[in-house]
Amino acid sequence: MIDAHCHLTYPGLRELLPDVLDNAVTVLNGIVTSAFPFAREKRPGFEDAFEALSLSQKYPAFVFVTLGLHPVQVADMDDEEIELYKELVYQHANRIVGIGEIGLDRFWVKSEEEYARTRRVFLEMLEVAEKIGKPVVVHSRKAEEEVVDILTSFSLEENVLMHSFTGNMTTAKKALDMGFYFSVNYKVRDTKNMRKIARSFPLEHILTETDAPFLSPHGGVNTPLSVKVVIEEIASLRGSQPEEIDKITTENAIKFYRIAQQGVTHGGSFQKNTRSE
């Protein structure tokens, strides 16, 4: 099992480390953590990004890092900070497995002026991804059609992961036709279009994620261990065995993030993994 997208260094989950990771290495095959420039409160120095990179050194071949500019955080950063963060990404390109999460958000970003700026930064980060040859993890809340349209103008093809996609099925099928992947989380239990994706899209284009510390199946702080619950839900929807879903989605994550060469060997079989939180 691989949690293909979470936020290990975000407040709530951060305070539970390293206990969560010490448990996770016995259960999971890997965790991909998406670092923000800063966590809940803005501080100088991009501490969230550096903390995530440190975790990947402490847990080699188990914790993997993506770096991006979340559209909601872009509104809190000036242009100089944006440029400094892009430089940080370039400097640490060999230590990350992807760019993300990046994208657009019409749920939280209400101002058209701010939205236009986040759109510009999204385009800039896609250019960064192309230059350093990394896949992208895409946030598209309430802006799915525009995000997919933008992605068509880049040569990313099978290097796009639509994180927590809940848009309409026409847009989802367009993204699938372009070779994009979809990461399914616990929203699959109550979000119609995510359920359709989990049930009917080719399993070879589906990854599993928790988005921890958010979206806990049991309330409170979510952890990467609950990716097991997501796998079980997908198996139920498809009339498959969890072991089959686990095997294929894990292979998909290894392929998408190109982490096979790093020797992902942690964890055990699905049947042995009984913990979900």
Task: Please state at what angle helix 169-177 crosses helix 144-151, rounded to 10 degrees.
Answer: 20
Q: Is 266 among the annotated ligand-binding positions?
A: no
Residue 5, marked binder: yes
Does 205 appear as a known binding residue?
no
Determine the Cα–Cα distance for residues 220 and 138; give it in Å rounded to an integer.
25
What single-letter amino acid sits at 259? I
d(CA 103, CA 139): 5
Partners of 139 in the beta sheet?
Answer: 103
Q: Return the structure tokens found at 100.
A: 């993300």
The helix/strand/coil state of 31 is strand
CA distances from 56 to 53, 95, 255 (A): 5, 8, 19
70 assigned ligand-binding residue: no
Report which DSSP code applies to 14: G
**H helices present in 92-191, as ranges:** 112-132, 144-151, 169-177
The strand pairing partners of 136, in sequence order, are 99, 160
Is 177 labelled as part of a ligand binding site? no
Q: 151 and 272 in contact (C-beta within 8 Å)? A: no
SS3 69: coil
Q: Are 118 and 104 in contact (CB under 8 A)?
A: yes
Task: Pick the closest to residue 48 from 101, 94, 107, 116 (CA basis).
Answer: 101
List binding-site positions: 5, 7, 101, 139, 163, 211
Binding residues for a divalent metal cation: 5, 7, 101, 139, 163, 211
